[in-house]
Structure 1
C-alpha cells in the first residue's frame, strides 16, 4: 500500500559493490533529513560535497543534491546522496534514515508519485522500466520515445478527436428541432469510422512494439537428429546446446539471446518432433509445438539424407534449412520444393558441419528481423494493457457506428465509453485497479 504523505528512500543505482551508490529520498522529510546529516542548508540543484555525520560519527563523505518540488522527478522535495558504494555505508545510512522516520520505498513508488503529481502519465511511467531493462538499441529508442510522450501524443490526439465528436453529438441531442445541417450525421459517423480505422492499424502494429520490447522470437523445429542444436550453436557462435549423435538429446526448450543489428532476438532450440511412447520426450515435444505456435519466426531443420519429412508442418513465412547437404542428396530438397508451398516459405541448402549455406541462412534471418521491426512509425503500443484498451475503444466505436445516430443518446454513450478507454490508458480512470499491477513490476528506486 502506498502512502504519499510519508517520506521514502531507496537505492537508485545498481545493487552490490560499486565506486558510487545513489540513495534517493522523496517527500516532506527529505530536506530535514539532509540537514540533519550535513548540518547545513543545501541550495536546490547544486551538487555539494559534504561529510555525512550522525551523533558525532562520520558516516561518509558524499556529494548531495537537492531537487525542490514541484521541479523534481516525483514533484515532491527530492534528495540524492551520492556515497561510496560500500554495503556497510548503505546499511548504516538505511538504519539512520529509518530512525529519522523515513521508510524504504516499494517497487515503482517514485514513478508512481511522479504520476500522481502530474509529472508523468501512465504510458510514460511504463517506459521508465522499459528503459531500465533495455538491452538493445531498438529497445532503448522505443522506450525513450515513449518516455518522451510519443504514445501520449498519439493517444491524446485520438482522445481529443473523440471528445470533439461527442460534442457534436451533444449538439444534435440538445437542439433536435433546430435547422442543423443535414450532413451532420454522416459527418459524425465518418469521423468515428476514421478513428476506428486508425485504432485498428495501431492494434495491428502492436505486435511489432512487443517484438522490440520483449525480443523477436525465433524457434528452431524439426525431427530428432536433424541438426537443430548444431544450428542453434552456430547461430549463437557458442556451444550452448548439447550436441550428440543420439536422437532425442534435446528434451526441453533451450533459450538464448541473440543481437541482430539494433534488435534483440530470442532463439529457441527444441526437442525433436516424432511419435514416441517415452513420457519425458512426449512432454518435450509438446513444449516444442507450443513454443512454435508462439514464434514470430519458425526455422525448420530437415536432414537431407532422411527418407521423409515426419513431423514437418511448415506454414507461410517459415524458413526451412535442409541440413547435412554434404552427406545426402538434393532429392528431398527437390521433392519438397515441388510441393505446393507458400512463396513466402524460403528453402536453404546448408551443412552446419562444413558451414555451407549457413551465411545465406543467417542473412535471410537478419533481413526478416530488420524488415519486420524497422518500420519508422515509432512508437508502437508495447504492452498488452495498451492493446486491450485500444481494442476496447474500437469495440465501443463499432457499436457507435452501428446505431447510425438513430438514437443519438446511445451513440453518445458508446463514444463516451471509448473516451474512458483512453482515460484508463493514461491512468486517470480505474486508477487503483491498474496502478498496483503496473508499478509492482518496477525495480525499487524507480
Structure 2
C-alpha cells in the first residue's frame, strides 16, 4: 500500500498493433518501457476458464505461450473501442470484442489465482515524468520570486472590487473608510437572522457561566473593541433598521496556540436560509507581497528594522451605510444579568472574506496618497517590505533605520 518507486524508462515511437488474424494496423502513441510488468501469466484468461460460463461460448481466446509484454491504455481509443459486448450474468465476467480480439473482465477463477486462502488484489498507477520538466518545476519551487511577481490579471470580480474600493475610499480622522464590497452593490437583501444570533450567544452564555476566566478574557476583549471605537451600540431609534439591510454576526472565542491569548472571532461564514455575509461579499484581488520577496529583500543590508500594524483590519473603517450588516449581540460590560444589547462594528473585521484585500488596499493607498510628503524609500517600504501587517526592512546604517522608523510611524 502507498508504495512509490521511480524507474528509468525509454520511449518507443511508431509502434503499430494488429489482431493475430487481422490486417488492420493502428499506430500507438509513445510507448514507455520498464524493467518489469505489473502482471503475471495468472492474469491471462484461458479458454478453459470460460467453460463455467456458457453465455461466453462464442468468445475465443487464442492460447499464446508468452508473458504479457505490452499494456495498452485508454490513450489509444481506437484499440479499446468496443465492437461487441456480452453482458455478465450471475455475477460472472463480461466480454468485449475489440480490434485486437476479445477482452474478458471479471472473476474467472474465483478471484484467487495465487492458491492462497486469502484473495489478492493488485493495483498499479504508472505516471510519466520528464527529467527536464521536473528540473524546471524544482527550480520554480525553490526560486519562485519571479512567478510570485508575475501576478495574474484581475478577474471581473476583482476589477469590481477595485472599482468599489477606489470610488468609496474616504479619509476619516486619519483612517480610510471603505464600503463593504457587495456582489450586488445596490441590491443587497439579507434575511432576518437575529434568532440565529440569539441562539449562538445563549450557547456562549452557558460556556461563560461555567468558566469565569474565559468570561473575563472574553469581556475584556470586547470591551477593548468597543472602547477603541471599533464597535458601537446601535442607537435605540435605529435598532429596527431597514428591512433586508441588517445582518447579525455570531461570535466565539479562540485561543492563540502559542501566545495563549483569547481572540473573539466573528463568524462571517455563518449561514441562515442559505445566505451568509461572506457569500454576499467579493473577496478581492491578492494584494499581498510575496513572502519570499520580503524575506529576500530583508537580507540586503546589515541593520534590521521590524514592525507591525496593530489590529490592521480594524484600522480600515466601514462606510456608515454598511455598518448595520455587521451587527452582533452582547451584554453591556459582560454583565450576563442584563438584557442583550445590539452592537455593530464600525471597522472591517477579522473573519470577513473581503477584509484582507480591504486592509492591503488601504495600506497601499496610504503610500500612494502621501508619496509627495515622504521620501521615496519610505513609500517603497510600504509597497515592497510589508507582508500583510508585518514589516521587514534592512538598511546600511543605524541613522537610516531610525529615520525610517520615524517616517513609518508618522505615515501609518
Q: Which has the higher helix share?
A: 1
TM-score over 0.5 (shorter chain):
no
Taking structure 1 as the reference length, the TM-score comes to 0.23
Greater RCO (CA < 8 Å, at least 6 residues apart)? 1
